[in-house]
Copies of this chain bind each other. A is one copy, B any other.
C-alpha cells in the first residue's frame, strides 16, 4: 500500500506465547487482566464485553476513548492474540507489560502499524 501521510493512530498486534493455560480459560480472569491492563495504560474505558467460548477460550473487547483493545485466547496452545488501536494519549506498552504478567506469558511478540491515510 501507499505510504501513510496522515497518521491517525497506531495499531499494535501482539502474540502472547507460553501463557498459563488456566488463566486463558475463563472470562473472569481475562476480563480482570484486560481491565487492569487498560487502567495501567491510562486509557479511558468506555465499554467492555467478554464472551466465553466452548469448550474453552475467551474473546474480549474494551472500547476506550482512544479506540480499542481486543483479546482472543487459545488455552490449548498457551496462546493469546491481543491488539490495541490507539489514537490518543495512552501507553500501549504498559498494557502489554501488564497483560504479559497477568497471563504469565513467556514472551510477547509485538508488531506496530500506523493507521491513517
Contact = CB atoms under 8 A, between A and B. Distances in A.
A11 interface: yes
B51 A59 contact: no
Nearest to A2: B109
A71 to B, nearest CB: 10
Specify the main secondary structure of chain A where it touches its partner.
Answer: strand
Given A51-B63, A61-B61, 19 more contacts: A1-B15, A1-B109, A1-B111, A2-B109, A8-B74, A8-B77, A8-B79, A9-B72, A11-B13, A11-B81, A15-B116, A46-B59, A59-B68, A67-B72, A68-B72, A77-B117, A81-B115, A83-B83, A111-B113
A81 B85 contact: yes
Say how many copies of this protein the assembly contains.
Answer: 2
6 contacts: A4-B15, A6-B77, A9-B72, A72-B85, A79-B117, A83-B85
Given A47-B51, A59-B67, A63-B51, A11 B83 contact: yes
A23 interface: no
